[in-house]
Chain A
Amino acid sequence: MRRFEYARPSTLAEAVALLAQEGERAKVLAGGTDLLIRLRDRTLGPAVVVDIKRIPEIAPAITQDGALVRISAGTTMTTLVESDLLRRSFPALVEAARYVGSVQIRNRATLAGNQCNASPAADTATPLLVYGAVVVATGSGGERRISLDEFFVRSGVTTLEVGELVTAIELPLPSGARRSAFQRRTRRRGHDLASVTVSVVLADDGVRLAYGSLGPRPRLIVGGPGSAEELLERAVSEASPSPTSMRAGPEYRLAMLRVLGKRAIEAAA
């Protein structure tokens, strides 16, 4: 890797100030499972790496505050998988988190980091989208909330501004009954990057379907009650899988979107 300075702010204010000061020269380090790969292959070459893990607000925590569940930015996939609260109310998210890499990866990879990395294949993105997740970010201008659907722009790019730091992901608890499911397609049973991800929520007040790896960013489609199959068809017609991807060809990906979407709907029904 190229050399860099390592900073380890101990407060949120310190971190925000540092990020504002360094701008594009800085990269945030949480779990490191994406960042270190890119530092090694030199697709990223920051002058400063800002380790946010010692900031109290970032420390792993899954808390419920009224109708909202807050997952702090430092919360790892392992912690997610072990959370009873999440398993009860957000089972598709837990299901997806279980598939991220291996035990070794899950012990480090953070939920927030998985979104900030903005890979269209991010396993946890589609569950978060169907659950209506909100990204909480803090910058020098203060705190703001961004719906996850507005957070993703395209592969590797989010609407996070320079100098901003994600501090948490918020999930609204469902008001009524709902069922949800997650499906993914990989090249082998062993851990792998997904070539299709699909999440579905069936609730009394409507259906939400999200898919990933068929276009530059994960996509969310929302419909009225009982519209699951219709949403799936819409997804299949609008999805734009890469024609040159190494992981799967476009025809197969679209077909798998339909197959997995159907399976997710059946599992959630």
Chain B
Amino acid sequence: MTEITLRVNDEMRSYSVEPHHTLLESLRDDLALTGTKECCLVGECGACTVRLNGVIVDSCLVLAVEADGGEVTTVEGLAWGDQLSALQEAFLTRGAVQCGFCIPGQLMAADDLLRRVSHPAHDEIEEGLAGNLCRCGCYYQIFDAVESVAVGSGEQP
């Protein structure tokens, strides 16, 4: 076991992990943050997307130990207390949520996109979310939600 210390959703966490456990497994099992989902486990579907040290990654392809000393944000960290972010609200009002399983990953990717490009063009949205599969086929509604936030007040997503 290895001791790691990292900031997760603005909270310092210190605990032991197995070197061979992924960040995804550790978030879900060691920290009980089950919002981030397991699906393909090979970096194809994006269901496990989290923000690590300022960029989004597939947490199934990151070892927990690699996150030592770093900063992680998961879907649980998007809201301010019980105040949903503008993006989260938009996903709800624009019909971007069906079964919901891909949504944490989509939100992390969309949040990241809007941080990098405050008013993304349509093809930039497609590309920014290209690493997130949605089998329910909510893509158009997800784009719509992202566009509505971008076009909005320009405030932080």
Please give the residue numbers on chain A whose beta carbons come within 8 Å of chain B beta carbons, in ascending order: 1-6, 8, 29, 32-33, 36-37, 39-40, 49, 51, 53, 78, 101-105, 107-108, 190-191
> Are B43 and A78 touching (Cβ within 8 A)?
no
Q: Which residues of A contact B20 (CB under 8 A)?
A: 1-4, 39
| Size range of the chain B interface in the assembly | 20 to 34
Interface flag for B147 (CB, 8 Å):
no
Q: Which residues of B contact A6 (CB under 8 A)?
A: 2, 19, 63, 65
Q: Which residues of A contact B57 (CB under 8 A)?
A: 104, 107-108
Q: Which residues of B contact A37 (CB under 8 A)?
A: 42-43, 61
> Are A101 and B55 touching (Cβ within 8 A)?
no
Contact residues, B113-151 vs A (CB, 8 A): 113, 127-128, 130-132
Q: Which residues of A contact B65 (CB under 8 A)?
A: 6, 8, 51
> Are B62 and A32 touching (Cβ within 8 A)?
yes
Interface flag for B109 (CB, 8 Å):
yes
Q: Which residues of A contact B130 (CB under 8 A)?
A: 102-103, 190-191
Other-chain contact of A40, B42, B55, B58, B127 (Cβ < 8 Å): B42
Do A104 and B42 contact each other (CB < 8 Å), given the known contacts A5-B19, A36-B22? no
Tell me which of A5, A101, A102 has the highest count of chain B C-beta atoms within 10 A of its own C-beta: A102
Interface flag for B73 (CB, 8 Å):
no
Given known contacts A36-B60, A103-B127, what 9 new A-B pairs fall within 8 Å (CB)? A2-B20, A6-B2, A6-B19, A32-B61, A36-B61, A40-B42, A53-B66, A103-B113, A103-B130
Complex Cα–Cα for A107 and B66 (A) = 14
Complex Cα–Cα for A126 and B6 (A) = 39
Q: Which residues of B contact A4 (CB under 8 A)?
A: 19-20
Complex Cα–Cα for A1 and B49 (A) = 20
> Are B131 and A101 touching (Cβ within 8 A)?
yes
The total number of A-B Cβ pairs within 8 Å is 80
> Are B43 and A104 touching (Cβ within 8 A)?
yes
Interface flag for B18 (CB, 8 Å):
yes
Please give the residue numbers on chain B whose beta carbons come within 8 Å of chain A beta carbons, in ascending order: 2, 18-20, 22, 41-44, 46, 49, 55-58, 60-63, 65-66, 109, 112-113, 127-128, 130-132
Distance to closest chain B CB from A26 (angstroms) = 13
Distance to closest chain B CB from A37 (angstroms) = 5
> Are B22 and A103 touching (Cβ within 8 A)?
no
Q: List 8 A-B contacts (CB under 8 A).
A: A2-B20, A8-B65, A53-B66, A78-B55, A101-B131, A102-B132, A103-B130, A104-B131
Q: Which residues of A contact B132 (CB under 8 A)?
A: 102
> Are A108 and B61 touching (Cβ within 8 A)?
yes
> Are A29 and B63 touching (Cβ within 8 A)?
yes
> Are B63 and A32 touching (Cβ within 8 A)?
yes
In the complex formed, the residue of A with least CB distance to B41 is A40
Complex Cα–Cα for A1 and B18 (A) = 11
Complex Cα–Cα for A107 and B128 (A) = 12
Q: Which residues of A contact B2 (CB under 8 A)?
A: 6
Q: Which residues of B contact A8 (CB under 8 A)?
A: 65
Q: Which residues of A contact B60 (CB under 8 A)?
A: 36
> Are B66 and A32 touching (Cβ within 8 A)?
yes
Complex Cα–Cα for A118 and B2 (A) = 31
Pairs of residues from A and B, 3 with the lowest C-beta to C-beta distance, nearest first = A102-B131, A6-B19, A107-B55
Do A107 and B56 contact each other (CB < 8 Å), given the known contacts A1-B20, A33-B43, A190-B130? yes
Other-chain contact of B56, A3, A33, A103 (Cβ < 8 Å): A103
